[in-house]
Amino acid sequence: MADFTSEFWNLYVVVLTVIGIVGCGVLLWSQSSVKGSALKSVDGKVGTTGHIWDEDLTELNTPMPRWWMWLFYLTIAFAIGYLWLYPGLGSYQGSLGWTSAKEHKEELAKAEKDYGPLFDKYKGQDLKAVAADPQAHAIGERLFLTYCAQCHGSDARGNKGFPNLTDKDWLHGGDPDTIKLTIMKGRHGVMPPMGAAVGSEKDIENVAQYVLSLSDSTHDPIKSVMGKSKFSACMACHGAGGKGNPMLGAPNLSDKVWLYGGSSETIMETIRKGRNNTMPAFEDFLGESKVHVLAAYVWGLSNPPVTAMK
C-alpha cells in the first residue's frame, strides 16, 4: 500500500474487503435461518425450484448441509482473525507488525550466521586458489546460476548484449581482481551515437566495412578503404587499430567477438544509435565474501585447471 499516494485507495481496499466478508456472513445466515419445513409444499412434500430436466429430473429446494455452512463460518472467522493479526486491510499493518521485508531480513541474518563462516574461510584466500577448490567451485556455480544466469546464460556463454564469460575476451580485463571489482561495483558501458560525427549514411556504411576488415571478416575492400579516414571519430575509445581500451570498456574490434552481432547492418546500427549497457553492482546485495567466491568461479570459466599429464 506504500505505493498508493492517495488515502482513497486505502479506504477502497478496506471497504471492499469488509463488504466481501460481511456479505458472505449475511448470505450464510439467511440460508441457515430457513428451516427444511418452510421449504415444503402444502401436501408435505419438499418444494422445488421449478427447474425440471429430462421430464422427471427435478431440482429440490432443500437447505445446504449444516457441516458445509459451518465450514464457511469458520472461514469467515479465520479471515477476521487473520486481518486483525496481519496486514491486509489497506495500510493497516496488523497487530503483530509482520512484514515480508522483516521476515526476509531475519532469514538473511540466519543464513549469514549459518553460512557466513564458510564464505569467510575463502575470503582470505587467493582467487586462483579459490577457483581450484571443488567445494568453492560448487558454491560459486550456485551463486552464478542464481544471480548471473539470467543475463549471461546458465552456460555463461552470454547472449546478445551480454558478454560470453567462457572465452578470454574481456571488456574491462579478465584477471581475477578485475572480475571481482566488476561484480562488486558493476559496470556501465556507453557508446554514444556516432552517426553525426562519422558523416552521411554512406560514410557510416564505409566505416562499418572498415570495422569488419579489422577482424578480417567478410567485407567490401573498396568501402573499407574509404571508411578508414572516417574511423578517426572512433579512435578516441577504440584506438587507431581498433584494439579497444579496457580502461574505458571499449571493445576490441580486431577480433571476431561481437557483443551485439558482427553483421554490417548491426555495426551500422551501433554507429548510428550507440549502445548503453549496465552490469549491476552486487557489493551491497551479496557482500564481499560471496562476491569473492563468485569471482573465482567466473575467472575459472575461462581458465580451467590444468590436468597433469600421466
DSSP state letter for 245: B
- pLDDT attached to residue 46: 61
Q: Which residues pair with 229 in a beta bridge?
A: none
- pLDDT attached to residue 268: 96
DSSP state letter for 184: H
- pLDDT attached to residue 134: 94
E strands, the chain, are: 48-53, 57-60, 187-191, 275-279
Q: Give the span between the Cα atoms of 64 and 48, in whole angstroms.
A: 14
pLDDT tens sequence across 278-300: 999 999 999 999 999 999 999 99
pLDDT tens sequence across 162-195: 999 999 999 999 999 999 999 999 999 899 999 9
Low-confidence ranges of the chain (pLDDT < 70): 1-5, 33-47, 49, 306-310
Share of the chain above pLDDT 90, in %: 63
With a CB cutoff of 8 Å and minimum separation 6, the contacts of 71 are: none
- pLDDT attached to residue 307: 47
Give the sign of the dihedral formed by CA 216, CA 217, CA 222, CA 228. Answer: negative
Sequence letter at residue 7: E
User: What cell was used for 17?
Assistant: 474487503
pLDDT, mean over the chain: 88
Q: What is the pTM for the complete model shown?
A: 0.70
- pLDDT attached to residue 308: 40
- pLDDT attached to residue 309: 41
